[in-house]
Amino acid sequence: VLNNYYRQFFKINNLDELKKNKFIKLVPRKMIKRSSAFQYYKNRFQTNLNEKVKIPDDLNEDLMELIGIILGDGSIKKNVLRVVNADKEIIDFVIKTIKNNFRLKSTIRKAGKSEICKEVSINSAILVSFLENIGIKGNVYTKRIPEICFWRKEKEVSALLRGLFDTDGSVILNRRKDHIISISFASQALIKDTLVLLAKIGIIGKINGSKRNRIAITGERNIKLFREKIGFRIKKKEKL
C-alpha cells in the first residue's frame, strides 16, 4: 500500500512501523505548514450585474461533497459546469447545493443519447472562477483533489470522499461474501490523492488493477470506518 508517494508524505515506510490504531490521525508532512483557510478574491465578474449571485465565504460539507462529485462526474468548459449522472440523489444534490450556496439555477436535460443519464449544467463565469480558485482543473487524466481539501475538517474530507465514491465507486461481495468497496480513475494523481485522504481519516486502501488505476477497500475494520465516516448518498449503494 505504501510506495514512494507515501514515504514522502508520511514519516513511515510501512504499516509495521505503526502501532495499533495510530494511523487514524496521520497528517501529510508536506502539508504541516499549509493552511486550511479559504480565500477568494473578487475578480472582474463580480460587478453590479452579478450582485444576485452569492459567493460563499468558506467551504462547507455540501461544497466539499460537490467537489467530489465534480471530480467524479463533472467537467468545466468555458464558463459552464456540467455534471452527468444517472442517480436522482446526485442530480438533486447538485441542483440544491448550487442554489443554496450560489443562488444559481441549473438546467437539466437528457445526457446525449443516454436513456438513464441526465446532465445538469450551470452557465456562470462566477461559479467557474470560484471552482478554479479552489483548484479544480485538469482533464480526466490529470485532475486531482485540490490542495486546500487536505487540510479541512474530518467531516468535510469525508463529504468529499462520499462525492467521489458515489460517482465513481462501487460495492461488491467476493466469494466469501465479504464487502469490497472500490473506485477507479484514469488519473494516477487522483488515485494517490484519494489514498492520502482515506488514510487521513483512518481508512487504508490498496492499489490494484492491471493499470494500477483502482483502489480497493477491504477488511472488516476499513469497511466499518467507511460506512461510519463516509457512506453513500445513493441509496442502492448504501443498502449493499
30-75 pLDDT tens trace: 443 445 666 666 555 555 456 688 899 899 999 999 999 999 999 9
With 50 as the cut, is the pLDDT of residue 125 above it? yes
| Closest of 23, 106, 38, 94 to residue 65, by C-alpha | 94
Share of the chain above pLDDT 90, in %: 65
Listed range (14-18, 128-132, 207-211, 235-239) with the worst mean pLDDT:
14-18
Strands 74-77 and 214-217: unpaired
Cα separation, 183 vs 103, in Å, equals: 32
Cell (9 digits) for 197:
485522504
* Strand-pair partners of 229: none
Cα separation, 205 vs 194, in Å, equals: 9
Q: What is the mean pLDDT of residues 131-142?
A: 92
Listed range (3-12, 202-211, 215-224) with the worst mean pLDDT:
3-12
Cα separation, 28 vs 118, in Å, equals: 38
With 70 as the cut, is the pLDDT of residue 204 above it? yes
Write down the pLDDT at residue 30.
43
Query: pTM above the 0.95 mark?
Result: no
Write down the pLDDT at residue 22.
44
Contact 89, 235 (CB under 8 A): yes
Q: pLDDT band at residue 162, thresholds of 50, 70 and 90?
A: very high
Q: Return the amino acid letter for 100.
A: N
Contact 167, 73 (CB under 8 A): yes
Name residue, grid cell 514522502: 8
Cα separation, 235 vs 240, in Å, equals: 9
- Distance in angstroms between the alpha carbons of the first and the last residue of the chain: 25
Please provide the average confidence, as pLDDT, over all residues in the chain: 84
Name residue, grid cell 473506485: 183
Cα separation, 148 vs 135, in Å, equals: 8
